[in-house]
Amino acid sequence: MIRSPILKFGVILFIICLFSAAFLAGINLLTKEKIALQKYQVEQKALGEVMPEAAEFDAVKKGKETLYYEALDREKNVLGFCFIALGKGYSGVISTMVGMRKDGKINVIKILSQSETPGLGAKIIELASSVTLFEAMTGKAKKDEKQKPWFEERFNNKKLDELDTVDAITGATISSGAVIKSVKEKAEEIIKAVASREWREKI
């Protein structure tokens, strides 16, 4: 029997922590595959959004790691490349799917995940709309009105040396800057990887 109050509470705390850790480990085990599947589905959908003209995507791997995807047309010709760029935002890592054409121009980007502050860093995923205030208040807005992430559109058809001209968002400079920097750096890395692969295949 434990007589020391400090030791007694220490044992109780240890038991609570042990059960909590076991519970969290169990939850993680149960949800791990579902989370991985959901992440895969999000990435596959994003591939079609950043390179909509592609008929299929062929993963280029290094071991189990996917380096990038080749975007192919129906005749298996390479249209461009898709890859994920990771940047350190204000609150966490920002993951962006990037579509890049063969000429090195960015086609479209799609922010996959972010944990930035709503109203500040999260402006990087805000939607733009042509609906006026009057239309919104009177209910006369077109139902088929498509809203688009206006920050993401700043990357459309940009050359890599033009990415430095993409304006950061006022009040969200760290978050938007992280996206700009990560997209440019990863694009340069992929261009080198593609060139190296093509060179090896010619030997």
pLDDT at 143 > cutoff 70: no
Q: How far apart are CA 111 and CA 149, in angstroms?
A: 9
Minimum mean pLDDT range among 27-41, 101-115, 174-188: 27-41
With beta carbons less than 8 A apart as the criterion, state whether 110 and 42 touch.
no
Tokens matching residue 146: 């498509």
pLDDT at 133 > cutoff 60: no
Q: pLDDT band at 171, cuts 50/70/90?
A: confident
Task: List, as one string, the DSSP characters of the chain.
Answer: ----HHHHHHHHHHHHHHHHHHHHHHHHHHHHHHHHHHHHHHHHHHHHHHSTT-SEEEEEEETTEEEEEEEE-TT--EEEEEEEEEEE-SSSEEEEEEEEETTS-EEEEEEEE--PPTTTGGGGGPEE----HHHHHHT-S-TTPPPEEHHHHTTTTB-GGGGGGSPPBTTBHHHHHHHHHHHHHHHHHHHHHHHHHHHHHH-
Amino acid symbol at 1: M
Bin 65: left if φ > 0, else alpha if -120 < ψ < 50, else beta.
Answer: beta
Rg over alpha carbons for the chain, rounded to the nearest Å, is: 23
**pLDDT 10s digits, 78-115:** 999 999 999 999 999 999 999 999 999 999 999 999 99
Tokens matching residue 184: 């440019």
Mean per-residue pLDDT, 2-9: 67
